[in-house]
Amino acid sequence: MYTFDELIDRRHTESTKWDRYQDKLQRDDLLPMWLADMDLPASDEIKEALMKRASHPIYGYSDRGRLYYEVFAERFQKQYAYDITADDVMLSTGVMYSIAAAIHLFTNPKDGILLLMPCYHPFVTCVENSDRRVIPVDMCVHDQQYEIDFEQLENRLKKDDTVKALILCNPHNPSGRVFGYEELKRLSEVCEKYHLLIISDEIHSDFVYEARFIPIMKVSTYARQHTIACVSPTKSFNLAGLKVSAILVKNESMKKKLKDYCSLIGISSINIFAMEAVKAAYLKSNDWQQALLTYLKDNRNLITAFVKRHADQIVAFQPQGTYFYWMKFHTDIHERLLNEAGLILNHGAEFSSSCAAYERLNFACPRPLLQEGLRRLDTLLKEIEKE
Ligand SMILES: Cc1ncc(COP(=O)(O)O)c(C=O)c1O
């Protein structure tokens, strides 16, 4: 039996989520529900594998051999019928590395890169730091879910033939949307029409509740040959500090370029602990993962009930995937959340300049912590109502 209710103190563990603001603001009452990692322990299988490897006191160079590639290929084959083999798996230390590499290798300075807004803010930084131009296309909202605005997308593309790539994030951070087959198919048709490279960030693919995750690579021949899929066990199994990831790609010339680039910049092997964790995660932690999903779904439903009770103050988007809840308030309450409620969420403005009244809440935490977060939010909303 798995129980995720236990509160584990993460303070003073060099945790970005727990220590950054506490140290900066010198406050020990803050409740962080922002950054994308979980306040939940990794599976026992992972912990045991890491402890076993740590007990061997020599941490020299590791030869991951074929195993790394095979473990990733088997996992994505089994989970999402990806139709890939170990030869289609490229080494990566993180999804943001993969995205930066794809931009660098397959587009040119000043090219435009499409982003569906709101979006995970490091995409913007990555595009700008690469001397490419961000081409933002706002998503639209339909039936309380975010959707791709195809009309706006095509209008942008018709006007600008310097756009060379799209960064797709599916499941979508921050909205929690999981794109369906028809939408992905239509998107791949647009990409084909305008010869766009598809950089598909699938880091949240294992967090899908009612819907089904469909890799864009599977929806058309074009997508299969022009997609760089960035995958990782780090969100699914809470391993972000271990820095491990992979790129799935079918196109032979893109594979070669990615491999050469990897060795050029000195990424030739991965951390030995990361390798142990990947094996224990993908090969031994399935039951844990199923239990986790059920727990997170219950957390999500708890928030849905909360936001329904506060429907006059919050417009919320129940996520189909990810562990984020995206919600809109009447006005920008970010500073008040921090100062008065001691609650650290991600400010919507990080994801789009038009989203200052939004917040993103990370609900991957023990339920008592979530309940405390909602209690604080409730108190603040009551206060605001009185004003
Ligand atoms: C959509 C998305 N992509 C990428 C990342 C970062 O991935 P990595 O740590 O592998 O670079 C995150 C982390 O929050 C994310 O939410």
- Whether the pLDDT of residue 287 is over 80: the answer is yes
Over residues 270-279, the mean pLDDT reads: 93
> 120, 175, 228: which to mutate for ligand 1, most atoms within 8 A of CB?
120
Over residues 299-307, the mean pLDDT reads: 98
| Ligand 1 center from residue 94 Cα (angstroms) | 8
Ligand 1 atom nearest 173 alpha carbon: 1
* Pocket, ligand 1, Cβ cutoff 6 A: 36, 94-96, 120, 169, 173, 201, 203, 232, 234, 240, 245
In whole angstroms, what is the distance from residue 35 CA to residue 364 CA?
Answer: 10
In whole angstroms, what is the distance from residue 338 CA to residue 358 CA?
Answer: 14
Domain with CATH 3.90.1150.10 in the chain: 14-41+284-383
Domain with CATH 3.40.640.10 in the chain: 57-281
Ligand 1 atom nearest 94 alpha carbon: 10
For 124, the 3-state DSSP assignment is helix
pLDDT tens for residues 118-128?
Answer: 999 999 999 99
Q: Within 10 A of 32 (CB to CB), how many other CB atoms are there?
A: 24
Cross-strand partners of 326: 317, 360
Could you identify the residue written with the tokens 């206060």? 383
| Ligand 1 center from residue 247 Cα (angstroms) | 13
> 203, 278, 324: which to mutate for ligand 1, most atoms within 8 A of CB?
203
Nearest to 360 by CA among 118, 9, 148: 118
pLDDT at res. 269: 80
Q: Within 10 A of 202 (CB to CB), how many other CB atoms are there?
A: 23
| Ligand 1 center from residue 159 Cα (angstroms) | 31
Query: CB-based contacts of 38: which residues, under 8 Å, 6+ apart?
Result: 238, 323, 364, 365
| Ligand 1 center from residue 34 Cα (angstroms) | 13
Ligand 1 atom nearest 204 alpha carbon: 1
| Ligand 1 center from residue 242 Cα (angstroms) | 13
| Ligand 1 center from residue 230 Cα (angstroms) | 10
In whole angstroms, what is the distance from residue 213 CA to residue 187 CA?
Answer: 15
pLDDT at res. 266: 81
pLDDT at res. 361: 98
Domain 14-41+284-383: homologous superfamily in CATH: Aspartate Aminotransferase, domain 1 (3.90.1150.10)
Ligand 1 atom nearest 240 alpha carbon: 9
The protein residue whose alpha carbon is closest to atom 7 in ligand 1 is 95
Over residues 108-120, the mean pLDDT reads: 98
> 16, 34, 92, 96: which to mutate for ligand 1, most atoms within 8 A of CB?
96
Could you identify the residue written with the tokens 């009309």? 151
Over residues 174-196, the mean pLDDT reads: 98
| Ligand 1 center from residue 169 Cα (angstroms) | 10
Q: How confident is the model at residue 164 (pLDDT cuts 50, 70, 90)?
A: very high
For residue 208, what is the DSSP state?
A: B
pLDDT tens for residues 19-77?
Answer: 998 888 889 899 999 999 999 999 999 999 999 999 999 999 887 678 999 999 999 99
User: What number of CA atoms fall less than 13 Å from residue 172's CA on the CB side?
Assistant: 26
> 93, 95, 103: which to mutate for ligand 1, most atoms within 8 A of CB?
95
Cross-strand partners of 140: 147
The residue ranges of DSSP E strands in the chain, in sequence order, are 31-32, 89-92, 112-117, 133-138, 140-142, 145-147, 163-169, 197-201, 227-231, 245-248, 314-317, 324-329, 343-344, 346-347, 358-362
Over residues 234-254, the mean pLDDT reads: 97
What is the pairing mode between strands 197-201 and 133-138?
A: unpaired
pLDDT at res. 23: 82
In whole angstroms, what is the distance from residue 288 CA to residue 238 CA?
Answer: 12
Cross-strand partners of 230: 201, 247
| Ligand 1 center from residue 171 Cα (angstroms) | 12
> 35, 172, 173, 324: which to mutate for ligand 1, most atoms within 8 A of CB?
173
78 burial type by CB count under 10 A (0-12 exposed, 13-18 middle, 19+ buried): exposed
pLDDT at res. 270: 82
State whether CATH 3.40.640.10 applies to domain 57-281.
yes
Rounded to 5°, the CA angle 202-206-210 comes to: 110
